[in-house]
Chains A and B, each alone.
Chain A
Amino acid sequence: MARFNLFQRVSQAPTNPQPAAAQRGFDVADLYRGPLAEKNDSGSDPGLALDEKLRQAYFWIVNTAIISPHYDIEYNEGPPQSFVLGDSKSRLTLPSGQSYSSFVLLPLLTFASRRKCLFVGGPGRGKTASAILMGVLAGYPVREVRRAMQHGHPQMTIADLLGNPLPADLVNAQKIEDIRVSWRKWLGMRVKIIDEYNRIPTRTQSALLTVMGDNYAEILDHIYECPESAWFLTANDEQGGGTYQVIEALRDRIDVIVQALAFNPRFLDDLLTRVEENVRPEEVVPRQIVFSEAEVDRLQPEIRGVEMPVEIRRRLEFFSSQFEFCEVAGDQFEYKTKDTARLAGVEWHTLTAQETGRDRLKDLGCQTRNGLSVRLLMTLLIYSKALAYFRGNRVVGLEDLRQILPFVLHDKLVPDPDAPFFDALGNGAYRTDRVGWLRKLFDSACADFDRLNLDRDDPINVFGVEFKRGLDGLNESEARSRLVKIERLIGEWSKGRKLYGHMYDDLLMLKYLHQRYTNYLRWVKTQ
């Protein structure tokens, strides 16, 4: 009877078919493969590529486990159909390519790349269920996943979270190292779930930070080294709600934030079937989509091995250089950053009031109160690769970066709601729609990148390529010539052009190159 189990049907490979080279090795045994599957076909196919398995897991989750009709990560393979609806001219796009639901895809990418994902959204929207599914995909029994899940509550202590010293040892021990610690089992799991993490008291949050950030736990000088794992946290309200304010360092450790969107009542029929069949999706996960520890280990290098082309990397560089620059924050060139202002504790509006000359509507940097950290950029690179890998590609595309970016920067790139951009006609919704705003921000940066023709004409890139060839064997006259070129370019830029974020970073790069050539020249002269 299991043959007709509606809840265990896995999408047939290939789940994202691409134009492929013709099959050469024909197996005559394929004659007997067809619409009637073998009963023991439910086992995992050892020859199946891991990206295909990930996609099968994705489609099983969206089609069977979490009824998710939202396709907010849109890909197109040609012009999409688009419709404008309602008084506010809402645009509905029907993508022409295989598109995805962020609520399922982002956790899966987190699982595959062993990063940290936060689910946000109202109660009862499947946040915890989604996290439990990730634990089951990692091969843990449902009961074990449920028991290992940490539920945040206001009385949660460090001992609740990490473990207890053995009471007998506490009484008898002569030295602190004699006290044995009973560590909590969840610390050793490769999928860690913290439910309602914003209800955890601040002190316990700090202990959690050590585990999340440095992958070890510490009690009474005893250390527990945790294995590399994927983290899933949930919060009913990430924007300041919860019992306790989440410490910034802990928030900063979260790689992606994904919002549980509303349930579409048109899918009530599926819920009804689930009720009538008394089925819990996490209890009927098909074996084909469960990953072994070795498979998840294998996923890591495969994802890291996805190529990030120079053209895409340049666009990310250009985008991220828009935000840190703050002309009025410092006197010395290097300190003209928003971080300088933040560290000084200056009121934001006093800084913006001093801004002159630049077009605050066009300057993307004016829309945010901070810039991007190194950790953020690394996360962006990893998730872009993971998304490309998930789609069966071995090279990151611009759309991969564009689609993943809002979920990585969700609460990391802080908007300035008083910026003129948000007051412009039609931009009001971006005050509340972070994903839409961040995507718009990236699109605007790409449009600027194109307008400046930086794909073809980027003098800084030319200098960089020249420098990367190395200084070995460079003669004095060539080094001088390069110094002159750098000085000439800065001289040109200084003639009346406004200073924008991307130029600021380029100028710092030129200063860096200038300094390297100056030092080299000095050394050459002594030879």
Chain B
Amino acid sequence: MSDNLDGGGDGQAGVCDAFASVLRSGRPQFNAQFTEARRVYPNLDGSAFLEFLRTDVDGLVQVVQQSHPEQITDLTLAAYEAGLELVGQKLAGPGARHPWIEEGWKRVLPALASALATAPARIIRSVSNALHHLANTPGARLEQWISEFERLGPQCGNVDTVLLVGQVLAWRAGLAHYRGGAVTAAGALPTALALSAIGAPSSADWPQLQERLKVNPWFSPTSPSEGDKESAGFPRFVAQAGAFRGFGGLFVEPPRVASSGQDFLVRSGDDCWLLTADIFGATFHRSSPAEFDSATQGSQLPSELRMNDSKLLWRKRPIEMPIDGLITSSAANPTTLALTSSLTHSVVLFALS
């Protein structure tokens, strides 16, 4: 394979004139950059990179050209450099490990054309990294993040707004551990955009909504009035987190759970995780068995909870379990009750507030 992109043929075939012109004018530099990247990523494939330029970068250039033709060169430089890294790491282009980064380049970046024109490198890097982050978080809903960003992108006029909206949408797409930061990020947005980003009705009272989001992880901003009726102090089944490793989950055996502040610690076999969960999702983060053991010793259940003949009672009323088997462990914090059973490779979560 050739050590530059010329490859003996016309590397600019099949792209728009503006993009071809920029590539042509910086041809020696672009080729040198490709050669350098090849040393760092020996598997960087010239034809795969050309394909990426044609299918992903070209479309982006065309969109930005319509509104900000003077920014095409900066955009091309940034996209070319990021593309080398992504294709070199097999994160984009033909043979990529997952399709999401390319999907984001096709759908999210064009929706951010205004912001992209002002800071192409930062936007491209941030969006690509976020897509990679979401793609590597089990349970995250990438399609939701992308489509919501497509919807809200045109309302984001600058880089800071783009980044804040992306954070809020990532939380809503299932990254429960970012809840605190995302609520704060939403607070820094214009009210209408904040309400739209968290999926609340435009008529909602944002300050009140923000307060409730801070104290109750099971409060749904999409239907704020529903939350007032629900629960009423009785445990309400809200989520089932985790799965058997054979089915793509984390657990090799039915897990056990312990309380750890606002979150939970989960152990399955020799492996342990911190479980963070809220109305939008649940995520697991590596922990240590020692931490689980010490959490187990200090774990205390609410006084309202009683175990009776393998049934769970809350203030003497039985809790209907969505899973089979004997209860093997339980843990609670002021907002959530977590249970595990002998026959299920997951943690069952009940809202207490």
Expressed in whole angstroms, the Cα–Cα distance for A31 and B133 within the complex equals 6
Q: Judge whether A23 and B82 touch: CB under 8 Å.
A: no
For B288, list chain A residues within 8 Å (CB): 19-22
For B315, list chain A residues within 8 Å (CB): none
User: Is there a chain B Cβ closer than 8 Å to A3's Cβ?
Assistant: yes
Set A21, A31, A34: member contacting B167, Cβ < 8 A:
A31
Expressed in whole angstroms, the Cα–Cα distance for A6 and B38 within the complex equals 10
Instruction: Give the distance to chain B from A463, nearest Cβ to Cβ, in Å.
Output: 36
Expressed in whole angstroms, the Cα–Cα distance for A26 and B37 within the complex equals 33
Per the 8 Å Cβ criterion, residues 227-270 of B in contact with A are: 260-261, 263, 265
Instruction: Give the distance to chain B from A19, nearest Cβ to Cβ, in Å.
Output: 5
Instruction: Give the distance to chain A from B137, nearest Cβ to Cβ, in Å.
Output: 10
User: Is there a chain B Cβ closer than 8 Å to A155's Cβ?
Assistant: no
User: Is there a chain B Cβ closer than 8 Å to A29's Cβ?
Assistant: yes
Q: Judge whether B36 and A22 touch: CB under 8 Å.
A: no
Set B32, B86, B124, B129: member contacting A33, Cβ < 8 A:
B129
User: Is there a chain B Cβ closer than 8 Å to A275's Cβ?
Assistant: no
Expressed in whole angstroms, the Cα–Cα distance for A39 and B175 within the complex equals 27
A side interface size, CB within 8 A: 26
User: Is there a chain A Cβ closer than 8 Å to B178's Cβ?
Assistant: yes
User: Is there a chain A Cβ closer than 8 Å to B40's Cβ?
Assistant: yes
Q: A1-29, CB under 8 A of B: which get 1 and which 0? A: 10111100100000000011111101111
Q: B1-41, CB under 8 A of A: which get 1 and which 0? A: 00000000000000000000000000001001100110110
| Segment among B55-63, B180-188, B317-325 that sits at the interface with chain A | B180-188
For B261, list chain A residues within 8 Å (CB): 24
For B286, list chain A residues within 8 Å (CB): 20, 22
Q: A36-55, CB under 8 A of B: which get 1 and which 0? A: 10110000000000000000
Q: Judge whether A26 and B177 touch: CB under 8 Å.
A: yes
For A79, list chain B residues within 8 Å (CB): none
Q: Judge whether A4 and B291 touch: CB under 8 Å.
A: no
User: Is there a chain A Cβ closer than 8 Å to B152's Cβ?
Assistant: no
Assuming the contacts A3-B85, A28-B181, asked whether A22 and B291 have C-beta atoms less than 8 A apart, the reply is yes
Set A5, A9, A21, A34: member contacting B287, Cβ < 8 A:
A21
For A19, list chain B residues within 8 Å (CB): 288-289
User: Is there a chain B Cβ closer than 8 Å to A210's Cβ?
Assistant: no
Q: Give the residue name and chain of the B residue nearest to A23 (CB).
A: B285
Expressed in whole angstroms, the Cα–Cα distance for A520 and B152 within the complex equals 86
Q: Give the residue name and chain of the A residue nearest to B29 (CB).
A: A1
The SS class assigned to the A binding surface is: loop
Expressed in whole angstroms, the Cα–Cα distance for A21 and B185 within the complex equals 27
User: Is there a chain A Cβ closer than 8 Å to B305's Cβ?
Assistant: no
B side interface size, CB within 8 A: 50
Instruction: Give the distance to chain B from A349, nearest Cβ to Cβ, in Å.
Output: 57
Q: Judge whether A28 and B185 touch: CB under 8 Å.
A: yes
Q: Judge whether A34 and B121 touch: CB under 8 Å.
A: no
Per the 8 Å Cβ criterion, residues 118-135 of B in contact with A are: 121, 124-126, 128-130, 132-133
For A24, list chain B residues within 8 Å (CB): 261, 263, 274
For A33, list chain B residues within 8 Å (CB): 129, 133
Q: Judge whether A4 and B33 touch: CB under 8 Å.
A: yes
Q: Judge whether A32 and B163 touch: CB under 8 Å.
A: yes
User: Is there a chain A Cβ closer than 8 Å to B146's Cβ?
Assistant: no
Assuming the contacts A28-B178, A35-B91, A36-B128, asked whether A9 and B170 have C-beta atoms less than 8 A apart, the reply is no
For A32, list chain B residues within 8 Å (CB): 125-126, 129-130, 133, 163, 166
For B86, list chain A residues within 8 Å (CB): 35-36
For A38, list chain B residues within 8 Å (CB): 125
Q: Can you show 29 pairs from A to B with CB atoms below 8 A apart?
A: A3-B85, A4-B40, A4-B84, A6-B39, A21-B288, A22-B260, A22-B287, A22-B291, A23-B274, A26-B178, A26-B180, A27-B181, A28-B167, A28-B170, A28-B171, A29-B167, A29-B181, A31-B133, A31-B178, A32-B125, A32-B126, A32-B163, A33-B133, A35-B86, A35-B91, A35-B132, A36-B82, A36-B85, A36-B86
Q: Which residues of A contact B (CB under 8 A)?
A: 1, 3-6, 9, 19-24, 26-36, 38-39, 273
4 smallest A-B Cβ distances: which pairs? A28-B181, A34-B129, A22-B287, A22-B274
